[in-house]
Structure 1
Amino acid sequence: MTINTHSNMMNTLRHDVPASIVVFLVAVPLSLGIAMAAGAPLAAGLIAAVVGGIVAGALGGSSVQVSGPTASLTLVIADLILTYGWRATCMITLLAGAVQLLLGVFRAARAALAVSPAVVHGMLAGVGILIALSQLHIVLGGSPQRSALANLTELPGQIIGMHGHPVTVGLVTIGVLLVWTKLPKPIKAVPAPLAALLVASVSAWAFGWDVTRIELPGLLSTWAPPELPQGDWGRILAGALLIALLAGAESLLCCAATDTMHPGRRADLDRELSGQGVANMVSGALGGLPVAGVIVRSTTNVGAGGRSRWSAILHGVWVLVFALGFGWSIALIPMEALAALLVFIGIRTISLGHVRKVHGHGEVPVYVVTMAGVIVLGLAEGVLAGLALAALLALRRLTGVTVLKREDHEGRLNVTISGSLTFLGVPRLTQELRAIPAGTAVDLDLNIDFMDNAAFDVIHSWRLDHERLGGTVVIDELHDEWYAMAASGARMYPAKTPPKAPDRWWLPWAHRTPEKSAPAPGSKPGTACRLTWGAHEFHRRTAPLVRPVLTELARKQQPSHLFITCADSRIVPSLITASGPGDLFTVRNIGNLVPRRGAAQHDDSVVAAVEYATQVLGVRTITVCGHSGCGAMAGVLSGGVQAGSLPGLRNWLRHGDHSLARLIETEGDRLDSGTLDLLCRVNVQQQLANLRTYPNVDEQVEAGELELVGLFFDIGSARVHVLPPLHPAATAGSAHSPEPE
């Protein structure tokens, strides 16, 4: 135990103490700015930073998250202060903390993660724009208005009559923030917000600029206990609930984000929510702003090397020491510099990265509606609007209907209907079914997990009408028989059919669940058991689906490609080419080698396949596919040493000597640790050249009747790359030229 204690202490001194100092330097200016933007006493921001660091850091469920006052609650706090006063707002913060504590005790934290990230990012963007608009007036020497519309209306007048010195201080602050990230790494060790405020303060003092100074009264001398709000308690409790939910959601989402940034233990979300609740109760009692997990401070902590909760706790201690012993230095900071810092932070909340993420999932409307709602209507109204739109879009996706039509070679129309068939999809369903010509033979596949009565009526009525007009309809249900049960008058169950797990046939045996890897009845355990089990699964799941295709192919094969690839077990041609039965005529050998015509190490196997594919089957393409990390090419690079006591393998690998020679000739000055994969690529190109040493292949290529294609499969990234053939000059004279003995 003594050794573990000593080790923990050394880790704290080595990693957490330096990280806590960096976070402290970031936290002080941000805490002061957020308090100023909310219209709260500046000391309230520092109190919240202290409590967030010490209390939430000690009691929370994350080892690296740092808590403190957050810009996302600025609008809520500002409105509560204007309505009830500061001391009553502290009581509301205390009540919000009690709500969070109860939610954590009843293990409700996971529910907060169900909020769409588009709503969260849209809310933050809207709050950021509002903060930037309001603080821009201070930078221009004026006063912020109560609404975004009023701030926009007054902005032109502020710009026309802007005061010189305040604007200069603001420009200096923003300029430092923009330039700081481009400076050398040793200089960037000082956090950008601190550097910007230092430069602005020193500049204002040196040039004697007329700016507004910040006054920070003593923390102890100005403290007063919270008081009960006076007014409608329904609205008061709604305000407390809003703070609890918004601060809790931000803390938990921040927790989930920081979990991906460090290798330590994952966060306990319920404990984190309870810890945040206690911190808000303490902060409210001491006269501080609401507390939440803050992504800026948390990422700074991880980036600075913080490994345990001690970095968050110590950062709170440093803020307390600063507030009690060096609070006088805050009077040197121009208020316009703090306002410029908030303008910069507000604009940065509009992240193009977040927009791209939500765009990829079709949730840009949710993001825009939330952001616009927060700006125009208010924070709570904007969030509710975003949540409502997200719910509607989710409902639309869940009840969406997909109808695919395809006519086969016999003239039958195959129609596949997928999704959940409810009354919401009836218009689309009716339109698609009525578009089917009368008298058509239809195979209707229902790939559905639910069907209500409205959808059944549409399909059943269409079927009766279609058959009455001379058409035929064959219905096949891929899941439970919703249509068949409804047509027979059986009772329909209200719940959706639990979707079957996807048939992940492409996964290796070792990656499948124990249930799926169970041996077939009557088989013996062992490696062969997996093959018999695989055959059993094929008969049960896949054979019914592919039997019509294989029945047709049983008469004759007509592949369009000859596919030559390595025998490596990780290469599955049908998987990486998305091909099916009858598409590829496949040849596999070690190293995907094609012996040159007349090679000393004679081999007819590959040649026979090439001749049969080109002259009997009439393939139009020959593909040679290599792969990364090929063991055969490693053997070629070693001069056969890695083949060991395998004489057959050594002889076979001599067919790769030309690939090695080609590599040295063309890439000799670039050989390094990536030489193996480079040789694997060159080997593919060389085998394409080897193919043209056979007269029949070369003639067909020259006549445009045959195409040679090179592929390279990067196993680690699961990507297939197309390789260009060697330059014609490199292969000139190779056709008809046998390998010298």
Structure 2
Amino acid sequence: MFLVAVPLSLGLAVASGAPVVAGLIGCIVGGVVAGALGGSPLTVSGPTAGLTIILASTVQNYGWRATCAITFMAGLVQLALGFGRVARTALAVSPAVVQGMLAGVTVVLILAQIHIVLGGSPQHSALANIRELPGQLAGHHSHAVLIGLLTIAVLLAWGRLPVPWRGVAGTVARRIPAPLPAIVAAAVTAWALNLDVPRVELPGSLLEGWQPPVMPSGPVPEIAGVVIAIAVLAGVETLLTSVSMDRMRPDGVPRADLDRELAGQGAANTVSGLLGGLPVAGVVIRSTANVNAGARTRYSTVMHGLWVLLLALVCGPLIEQVPLSALAALLVAMGVRLLDNARVRDLRNHGEASVYFITLGGVVAFGLGEGVLLGIGVTAWMALRRLTRLSVDVEEADGRWHVMVSGSLTFLGVPRLIGMLRRVPAGSAVDLDLNVDFMDHAAFEAVHDWRMTHERQGGEVDIDEIHETWYERRVTGDMTPTRKSFPPVRWWAPWANRWRRSENPELDAPEVSASALLLAGVREYHGQMVPLVRPIMAELAFKQTPEHLFITCVDSRVVPNIITASGPGDLFIVRNVGNLVPRHGSRVSDDSLAAALEYATNVLDVKTITVCGHSNCGAMAGVLAGGAEIDHLPGLSRWLKHANHSLARFLDSEPGAEPPLSRLCQINVRQQLDNLLTYPWLRNRVEAGKLELVGLYLDLETAKVHILDRPAGSFVPVPDEAPDELPDLPTVS
């Protein structure tokens, strides 16, 4: 962390027009103060590129000492926001705006630093830098260009070159971040060739010539705006970084306390402003490097700040050998890496890429504040457009007209709705489906007036509301709030029980292919379920942690996630014909189920293995018939030999009131639980109390699930109401 932070902090100080030592002070304070007091243990704070442009403008307008006072006051604002517990409200800003803002700041930074790499001086604005760039490219070929190109070359090559050393030396060489060898190579080259290039200038000590901050002179509203802009910008960047680190945190690391993190950043900025340092914020690049290096606690952040302090105290002459063009080249390379196309692809998938590019262009063309406001405005317009999106479909079939209205039915959609309803002939029978999540008064009046008019003309209108009964409640005057039902309550039903033909025209054919049914189901999933499960799946995308291995039959009527009310990531499911578990060492081997058992227990460390059988099982019917009906299926015949022990147990049991097939299905579950205990390593886990074995039985006719009471040797109903503390369910011990 220390090796990454030092060159970047120096470069950001130069880019901001601040004293070079201010970058080191900000880096030290960000590491020690924010690291010790913040609420995100893995987030690394320090000077950040996101603040460079606004900071450069502040230094130019008010001077450095007044900028320190502004940093101090911004820290007080962040402290107040943190203690006011409003940190999460900052996350309401669209990520597309924030990422577009950071990309815009990065582009402005790159344009300014390219001029320094070319041996010139940056202009007062990004557009001016673009206009002057051709002249800089044609007219400047000084030693600064050589040093800048050398720095970029080392940055690109480092990590790609083979390391000739083995052992400790090779490991250290591979772990050194690229910025350090790039800056060292530039400094050594400039010193060895005695090149005349501008270099870093440091005072004799960190606080040499220190003077207290002074209040900036100017209109109070203008100064307050700068203070709030720095506080909010640094705060939002910190909070977004903390949220990102939460997703990357290793096991055992606590989640971030965002309010405490914001207060910790405020404390760091007050100290940094008082000591003459740059404002600080949580930085994604350094925080990611921190996690990748193996950090587990906040001490890594604090230690990196102490290392910077030690360097500044004892290695000042070495730092002064660093060419400014090398730092500028480092910032250019860092900025190019920040312009990540993956972010744009993610935003494009969510339809928000336009917000990103508009914010980016606004920051480059007009300035930071103007660009952010432009992005927020576009986001608000797009949100309003989505909220008022309306779909109206009209079709005629079998002498009846069907009108399907989907979306939000507001006054904005009334003209389109009325225009579509006019296509319905007078006196006809109409089915009007209102699949709407909101209906305002203007829309209600439009629908109701059309209905009354149509019925007066001899027509018939049947209104069916799929979600909330907006129309019915307004007709009756009952506007009591109701719970929203989305997706439709019959999402779990078979395809034929919930789809209208008119909603799926491809299903109208007399003989519908299986693939058409499947694709229609995928479309329904995309339209209704994906928005709900996407956040969950994003968290599970790179790691699964189920606690239950669920072994059940391949029967299409058994749906484990429905009968257990579970979701993605809850059950590790194995399905086979007859929910069988081949015994350990059986002559007819089955590596498939053994592999699942090994992976579930040794890798996923599941706590429970459940065997779930069901009534009217075709596999058990085949076993009960002696296999005569499946002689023509050799693979199935071999597989059902694993049920011979269940059949023997059935023959030894006393006949009861239940039908023979139901009794065999239940006995089969008990036998498979015993088969699990034939695996020695699995039995050891059960006997050590690390694993529970559970038997379930689904009665298809009643749709009820029963649980095996092992001591009684029978299945009992699952209690309808759970007590305050969950009891020890009957399991195999």
Paired residue secondary structure (1:414)? strand
Partner of 2:484: 499
Q: Which runs of 5+ in 2 are unaligned?
A: 164-170, 503-509, 518-549, 561-575, 581-616, 620-624, 650-733
Alpha-carbon shift at residue 415 of structure 1 (Å): 2.2
Cα distance change of structure 1 residues 567 and 247 upon mapping to structure 2, 3 Å threshold: closer
Counterparts of 1:576-591 in structure 2 under 5 Å?
Answer: none
**1:503 and 1:92 mapped to 2: Cα distance?**
54
Is the Cα contact below 8 Å between 1:434 and 1:462 reproduced in 2?
no
Partner of 2:408: 420
Say which of 298, 303, 321 aligns to 1:314. Answer: 303
Is 1:258 matched up with 2:245? Answer: yes
**2:512 and 2:327 mapped to 1: Cα distance?**
72
Say which of 169, 192, 208 aligns to 1:206. Answer: 192
Q: Which amino acid aligns with 1:443?
A: D
Alpha-carbon shift at residue 448 of structure 1 (Å): 2.1
Q: Which amino acid aligns with 2:400?
A: R
Counterparts of 1:618-633 in structure 2 under 5 Å?
Answer: none
**2:491 and 2:443 mapped to 1: Cα distance?**
35
Cα distance change of structure 1 residues 492 and 501 upon mapping to structure 2, 3 Å threshold: closer
Is the Cα contact below 8 Å between 1:449 and 1:497 reproduced in 2?
no
Cα distance change of structure 1 residues 375 and 404 upon mapping to structure 2, 3 Å threshold: same
Deviations 1:479-533 (A, max 9, x none): 4433234446x3767xx754225467778xxxxxxxxxxxxxxxxxxxxxxxxxx
Q: Which amino acid aligns with 2:391?
A: T
Cα distance change of structure 1 residues 32 and 567 upon mapping to structure 2, 3 Å threshold: closer
Cα distance change of structure 1 residues 230 and 558 upon mapping to structure 2, 3 Å threshold: closer
Counterparts of 1:430-509 in structure 2 under 5 Å?
Answer: 430-467=418-455, 471-487=459-475, 490=477, 498-500=483-485, 502=487
Partner of 1:87: 65
Q: Which amino acid aligns with 2:215?
A: L
Alpha-carbon shift at residue 355 of structure 1 (Å): 0.4
Number of corresponding residues: 546
Paired residue secondary structure (1:296)? helix
**2:57 and 2:557 mapped to 1: Cα distance?**
64
Partner of 1:61: 39
**1:368 and 1:256 mapped to 2: Cα distance?**
23
Partner of 1:382: 371
Alpha-carbon shift at residue 589 of structure 1 (Å): 5.6
**1:601 and 1:571 mapped to 2: Cα distance?**
20
**2:362 and 2:54 mapped to 1: Cα distance?**
14
Is 1:176 matched up with 2:154? Answer: yes
Cα distance change of structure 1 residues 200 and 424 upon mapping to structure 2, 3 Å threshold: same
Paired residue secondary structure (2:55)? helix
Q: Which amino acid aligns with 2:352?
A: E
Partner of 1:351: 340
Partner of 1:604: 629
Partner of 1:38: 16
TM-score, normalised to structure 2, is 0.68
**1:118 and 1:54 mapped to 2: Cα distance?**
31
Say which of 128, 134, 148 aligns to 2:106. Answer: 128
Cα distance change of structure 1 residues 467 and 316 upon mapping to structure 2, 3 Å threshold: same
**2:484 and 2:287 mapped to 1: Cα distance?**
39
Is the Cα contact below 8 Å between 1:135 and 1:343 reproduced in 2?
yes
Partner of 2:122: 144
Paired residue secondary structure (1:333)? coil
TM-score, normalised to structure 1, is 0.67
Is the Cα contact below 8 Å between 1:439 and 1:466 reproduced in 2?
yes
Q: Which amino acid aligns with 2:48?
A: T
Paired residue secondary structure (1:476)? strand
Cα distance change of structure 1 residues 415 and 201 upon mapping to structure 2, 3 Å threshold: same
Partner of 1:582: none
Say which of 394, 409, 421 aligns to 2:383. Answer: 394
Deviations 1:666-709 (A, max 9, x none): xxxxxxxxxxxxxxxxxxxxxxxxxxxxxxxxxxxxxxxxxxxx
Alpha-carbon shift at residue 422 of structure 1 (Å): 1.3
Partner of 2:287: 298
**1:141 and 1:315 mapped to 2: Cα distance?**
32
Alpha-carbon shift at residue 543 of structure 1 (Å): 12
Alpha-carbon shift at residue 381 of structure 1 (Å): 1.0
**1:432 and 1:130 mapped to 2: Cα distance?**
50
Q: Which amino acid aligns with 2:357?
A: V
Cα distance change of structure 1 residues 483 and 332 upon mapping to structure 2, 3 Å threshold: same
Alpha-carbon shift at residue 347 of structure 1 (Å): 2.0
RMSD: 3.8
**2:324 and 2:555 mapped to 1: Cα distance?**
65
Alpha-carbon shift at residue 164 of structure 1 (Å): 3.6
Say which of 240, 247, 256 aligns to 2:227. Answer: 240
Partner of 1:518: none
Cα distance change of structure 1 residues 400 and 27 upon mapping to structure 2, 3 Å threshold: same
Partner of 2:595: none
**1:65 and 1:467 mapped to 2: Cα distance?**
66
Alpha-carbon shift at residue 391 of structure 1 (Å): 1.5
Alpha-carbon shift at residue 190 of structure 1 (Å): 0.9
Alpha-carbon shift at residue 423 of structure 1 (Å): 1.5
Say which of 208, 213, 221 aligns to 1:221. Answer: 208
Cα distance change of structure 1 residues 271 and 293 upon mapping to structure 2, 3 Å threshold: same
Is 1:645 matched up with 2:630? Answer: no
**2:388 and 2:513 mapped to 1: Cα distance?**
41
**1:295 and 1:547 mapped to 2: Cα distance?**
49
Alpha-carbon shift at residue 442 of structure 1 (Å): 1.9
Partner of 1:161: 139
Q: Which amino acid aligns with 1:286?
A: L
Partner of 1:618: none
Q: Which amino acid aligns with 2:446?
A: V
Is the Cα contact below 8 Å between 1:449 and 1:498 reproduced in 2?
no
Is 1:271 matched up with 2:284? Answer: no
**1:269 and 1:397 mapped to 2: Cα distance?**
30
